[in-house]
């Protein structure tokens, strides 16, 4: 039952409290980077909250990507080398901090379902800016629909990874996955920083280098999708092969299709070239909606609840569609700015409210370590993923019980 203006019901919060994290990882690079991550987590103070580490990493990632976007919003201009280096450094910082938030939670005995949700939520936003910055570094804006495909492919892969988690109950990482993709993109930024972004237009055997990179991502992305859909189509862990919520394993295709299809149609029907003239803003706009829908999918998985099809974030794309229907009553660029503002606001509002509701239910704070009694062994979800563990379980129920005891004692 939902209280007034509450996003999560009492039943969902109870299921979230009892959520058990499960992960399988076969990453090539995670074991190699473990010594660096272990050194890093030992170097930070124990009073630093895990979620604060995650959000700082995301902030650095977004700011450094925005610098690149400001210098080349059309992904055609040659950005300064230092901006490419800065973007590579920002991504490395995000990768490192994202890898140690779970380690810090385990170290400080503060793991909770909120940490897992917060981590995935930040990743969904980061995916948009990482993909966009990579496109700018290779000046793929000269081929706008390649840029469209590359960015939306990244968002789709991230969504599908959590789709199969919603079906199977286990998050799976392949041999070439997130960490490997991030390292490759860092390499792209460094190469652009050294030789200039125009290096990607050079030809090898009559083929421009950017085209080789783009085709390689298609091959790797297709391999990942095949692996993901083999899990989805094999049936879920719910009753009669359904999802963890007992719904159809194919149902999550609908919410994301309501983003992808309008994004393509609006770009095609535009008489002012709204995507070609404003590729970065267009991708960020739809990327914010994609991030919110992905977050809702993660929440649905963790609360074992049905994923609703409609999302208020879709009002942004609807503004663009409605304007086109009335023969561009307003300039499309102006409407796009309005849509971007709405989609960003709606995402922040949703994430903030979900975090507040979970914090209130678990009696914890988002960016501050809540004092505990003793004896709670945290899940260390992120750490166990980085170590390639097959199944990890958090102890949020124990955590909540001890906080109840602590609260009663304080009273």
Alpha helices in 138-208 (DSSP H): 144-168, 178-195
Q: What is the dihedral of CA 309, 312, 317, 319, to 10 degrees?
A: 130
3-state secondary structure (DSSP) of residue 173: strand
DSSP letter at 311 equals -
Of the candidates 120, 143, 361, 399, the residue annotated as catalytic is 120
Active site residue 120: yes
Q: 3: closest CA among 338, 356, 401, 396?
A: 356
Angle in degrees, CA 331, 337, 338, rounded to 5:
90
Contact 79, 366 (CB under 8 A): no
Angle in degrees, CA 317, 232, 391, rounded to 5:
110
Cα 44 versus chain centre, distance: 25
Structure-token pair, residue 93: 């910082």
Q: 52: closest CA among 124, 108, 90, 14?
A: 108
Instruction: Give the list of residues 6+ apart from residue 159 with CB closer than 8 angstroms, or none.
Output: 252, 256, 290, 293, 294, 297
CA distances from 307 to 5, 87, 247, 249, 289 (A): 18, 35, 9, 11, 15
DSSP letter at 199 equals G
Angle in degrees, CA 312, 299, 124, rounded to 5:
75
Based on C-alpha coordinates, what's the Rg of the chain? 21
Provide the annotated active-site residues.
120
């Amino acid at each position: 039952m939902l209280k007034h203006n509450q996003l999560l019901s009492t039943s969902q919060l109870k299921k979230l409290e009892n959520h058990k994290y499960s992960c399988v990882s076969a990453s090539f690079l995670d074991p190699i980077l473990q010594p660096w991550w272990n050194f890093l987590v030992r170097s930070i103070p124990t009073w630093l909250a895990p979620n604060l580490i995650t959000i700082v990493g995301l902030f650095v990632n977004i700011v450094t990507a925005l610098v690149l976007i400001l210098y080349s919003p059309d992904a055609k201009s040659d950005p300064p080398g230092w901006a490419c280096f800065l973007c590579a450094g920002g991504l490395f910082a995000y990768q490192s901090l994202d890898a140690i938030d779970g380690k810090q939670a385990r170290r400080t005995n503060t793991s909770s379902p909120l940490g897992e949700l917060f981590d995935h939520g930040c990743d969904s936003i980061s995916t948009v800016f990482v993909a966009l910055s990579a496109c700018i570094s290779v000046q793929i804006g000269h081929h706008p629909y390649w840029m469209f495909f590359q960015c939306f492919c990244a968002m789709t892969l991230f969504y599908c990874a959590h789709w199969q988690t919603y079906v199977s109950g286990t998050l799976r990482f392949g041999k070439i996955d997130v960490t490997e993709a991030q390292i490759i993109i860092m390499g792209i930024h460094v190469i652009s920083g050294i030789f200039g972004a125009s290096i990607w237009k050079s030809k090898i055997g009559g083929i421009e280098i950017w085209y080789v990179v783009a085709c390689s991502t298609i091959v790797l992305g297709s391999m990942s999708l095949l692996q993901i859909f083999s899990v989805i189509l094999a049936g879920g862990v719910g009753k009669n092969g359904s999802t963890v919520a007992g719904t159809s394993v194919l149902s999550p295709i609908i919410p994301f299709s309501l983003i992808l299809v309008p994004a393509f149609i609006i770009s095609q029907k535009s008489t002012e070239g709204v995507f070609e003239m404003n590729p970065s803003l267009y991708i960020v706009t739809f990327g914010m909606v994609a991030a919110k829908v992905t977050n809702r999918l993660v929440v649905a998985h963790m609360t074992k609840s049905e994923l609703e099809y409609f999302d208020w974030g879709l009002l942004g794309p609807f503004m663009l569609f409605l304007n086109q229907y009335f023969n561009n009553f307003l300039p499309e660029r102006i409407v796009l700015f309005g849509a971007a503002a709405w989609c960003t606001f709606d995402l922040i509002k949703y994430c903030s409210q979900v975090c507040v509701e979970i914090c209130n239910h678990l009696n914890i704070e988002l960016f501050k370590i809540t004092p505990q009694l003793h004896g709670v062994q945290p899940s260390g979800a992120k750490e166990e993923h980085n170590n390639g563990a097959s199944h990890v379980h958090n102890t949020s129920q124990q955590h909540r019980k001890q906080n109840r005891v602590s609260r009663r004692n304080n009273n």
